Amino acid sequence: MFSERFLRSMAILLIAIVMAIAADGSAVAGPMPGDGDVEPDAVRELADLGDTLKAAVLSGAMSEEDAIKIWETMRRRLEPPATPKPARDETRGGTPKRDLVRLAAPEPEQVWLLLQPEFLGRDVTVLRDELMLDPDQTLILDVLLDDYREAFELASAPFRVALTRSRRATADRWITETLQRARIDGDVTALENTRSALEKLAEERGAKETPGKPERADAAPSRREQRHRAWSQRMLAVTVQLEGRLAALRARVDEQLAELDREDAVITGERVLKMARSLRAERARLGRELAELIAAITTAEQRGPANDRLALALARVRVERLLPLGRFGGESMNLWAALSESVQRHEANDDDPAVAAARRVLRERTLEIAGRLDHRAEATLDRELEGLAYVQWRDRAIAANGGAPGGVPARQTTAALTTYAAACRRELAASMMTRDALLDLLDGSIASIEAADSDAELAATYRDAALRRGFPTEMRRRWSERALTSANRLDDLDDETIEWLRGLSADIAQSLAALRADSIRRRLVRDPRLAREQVAVRFGGDERTIAWGSEHWFGINHQTLTEIDDRTEGELRAMLTAEQWSVLPARRRDAKISKEGRDKKGNARPTPKKSG
């Protein structure tokens, strides 16, 4: 029978032809989502594969988990690569689920930072401003960065190809073994299993759609029911052909493996690991050579005494590149950008004593923060190489056990993962050091502003801008704040209402500030603990179960924050007229609000007091 996880996972993976069936028991005719980007033959092949896997699960020949993995693997090959999404604005509100994803234990096969260059084309702006380059020097620097990018792409290309082919070969071997394990106990038994599963699915679907309502014997089947019956008949027909379908899929995967072997020597885990180590050394060498070339095109005055200005400029480049890669709350906090934003909002300038003091503190500690980020990056590279070393061991263990991935004893696998788990923990420790250094620098720069300026407004604005970058989920604006801001801008308010709004706004702001401070404080403790727990459970042999609560999915203090929005809404409804309420921002409501109480965008329809 299908679990909720299976249905959700298959639906997300764009197999609408089959997955809509799993979600509500109906067959959906027509194109799949994203069909405009997939070749028609691929669409048909995906639909056929989906039918085969669905029938295999229904008949009991294959587990849900194995079917999902096979589908994901084949889908990625048949569909073109997705268009990269633009970079997300770090100042906008995050989500609790995104925060949790960043804390997940990385898989041993996951290699990302090793394939990223140390310099990017956009770095020309930072280097030009820090070193005060003239137009000719800037043009030469632009050419040097282009040459560096081409050299790095050339150096990393063989490893990229080898890594891709190694992963594909590993996946194909796993699919072959999984298909070999699939057991069909005769056509009759398979059909009986499928019929039983379909009947249970229909019963669950009917109970969900019409709870407590008896069916009319003379009622004509709905279009949805007709589609479900048609799909059921197709699943039964596929079940009859299931053995041949699985054999055809196995033959195709075997052919792909043979093709990989014919193209070149087998890409083993040992070979991939050796190439990764060479690329790491080459990556470092190219970075050093570019730094030397940058020094060569600058004057002694631009480089500064003992090349300190050059070192500071290169450190700023690393800070801008590595800061966004943080996993913990506060680890990606760009204090330099936060200060610039605060200065603009206050229409101040660099001659302002408070601004100059803050910039001086940030400048003096730029090298320290860059060093922390370098340490974290090296820990990440160590973890990626340890992961590839485990893949090498796994390939040897599989070969020693007759080529079956499932034949390696779990005890041996857990022991082999010990070194990788230790590398993961060292990476987390480096992340904590980076985060703590940034928080300490935030406190120091705020103190410098307060010492140079008796007006605390700039310091408060800077702190808010910094925390919004480091803790976007906790610092995002609540509906109560947006609603009160809009309400205070209304033109037709009497003096009593204006005074009441001011008092409510101050009260809500004080409550939210206290909750945000508490949420940040609790997240500083939660993030490292949760990340370590996931490493221990995933790779350390820890068999405990991580307790996921509502605060993991909806955010720390979510319930209390919602109650503040509820209170604000209730008081605004009571004090404002219908016309005044109508101009306030709509509130996104919880699922408990009935469909009839929503507008076309899903917002709750306001029911304020009548005017007059």
Q: How many CB atoms lie within 10 A of CB 225?
A: 17
Q: Are residues 416 and 565 in the same domain?
A: no
Q: Are residues 486 and 342 in the same domain?
A: no
Give me the pLDDT at residue 423, please.
Answer: 96
Domain that holds residue 245: 4-82+182-211+221-263
Q: Are residues 540 and 399 in the same domain?
A: no
Share of the chain above pLDDT 90, in %: 48
Does residue 473 form part of some domain? no
CA distance linking residue 6 with residue 14, whole number of Å: 13
Q: Are residues 369 and 502 in the same domain?
A: no
Residue 170 has pLDDT above 50, yes or no: yes
What pLDDT band is residue 431 in, cutting at 50, 70 and 90?
very high
pLDDT in tens, 9-19: 333 333 333 33
Q: pTM of the entire structure?
A: 0.75
Q: Which of 360-374, 476-490, 540-554 has the lowest mean pLDDT?
A: 540-554
Share of the chain above pLDDT 70, in %: 70
Q: Are residues 509 and 552 in the same domain?
A: yes
Question: 379: buried, middle or exposed (CB in 10 Å: 19+, 13-18, 0-12)?
Answer: buried
Does residue 457 form part of some domain? no
What pLDDT band is residue 259 in, cutting at 50, 70 and 90?
low
Amino acid at the residue 4: E
pLDDT in tens, 214-239: 555 445 556 666 666 666 666 666 66
Of 83-87, 243-247, 327-331, 543-547, the range with the highest mean pLDDT is 327-331
Q: How many domains does the chain have?
A: 3
CA distance linking residue 542 with residue 109, whole number of Å: 21
Q: Are residues 133 and 189 in the same domain?
A: no
Does residue 90 form part of some domain? no
Does residue 101 form part of some domain? no
Does residue 605 form part of some domain? no
Q: Are residues 295 and 330 in the same domain?
A: yes
Q: Are residues 325 and 241 in the same domain?
A: no
Residue 73 has pLDDT above 90, yes or no: no
Q: Are residues 157 and 193 in the same domain?
A: no
The average pLDDT across 431-444 equals 97
Q: Are residues 529 and 399 in the same domain?
A: no
CA distance linking residue 302 with residue 140, whole number of Å: 15
Contact 482/583 with Cβ under 8 angstroms? no
Of 93-102, 195-204, 534-543, the range with the highest mean pLDDT is 534-543
pLDDT in tens, 267-298: 778 889 999 999 999 999 999 999 999 999 99
> Which residue's structure tokens are 């029978």?
1
Q: Give the CA radius of gyration of the chain.
A: 30
Q: Are residues 205 and 295 in the same domain?
A: no
> Which residue's structure tokens are 């407590």?
212
Give me the pLDDT at residue 597, please.
Answer: 42
Q: Report the DSSP beta bridge partners of residue 609.
A: 577
Does residue 58 form part of some domain? yes
CA distance linking residue 108 with residue 391, whole number of Å: 7
Does residue 572 form part of some domain? yes
Contact 7/67 with Cβ under 8 angstroms? no
> What 3-state DSSP class applies to 598?
strand
Does residue 32 form part of some domain? yes
Q: Are residues 147 and 225 in the same domain?
A: no
Of the two residues 80 and 608, the one the predictor is more confident about is 80
Give me the pLDDT at residue 164, please.
Answer: 84
Contact 33/58 with Cβ under 8 angstroms? no
DSSP 408: S
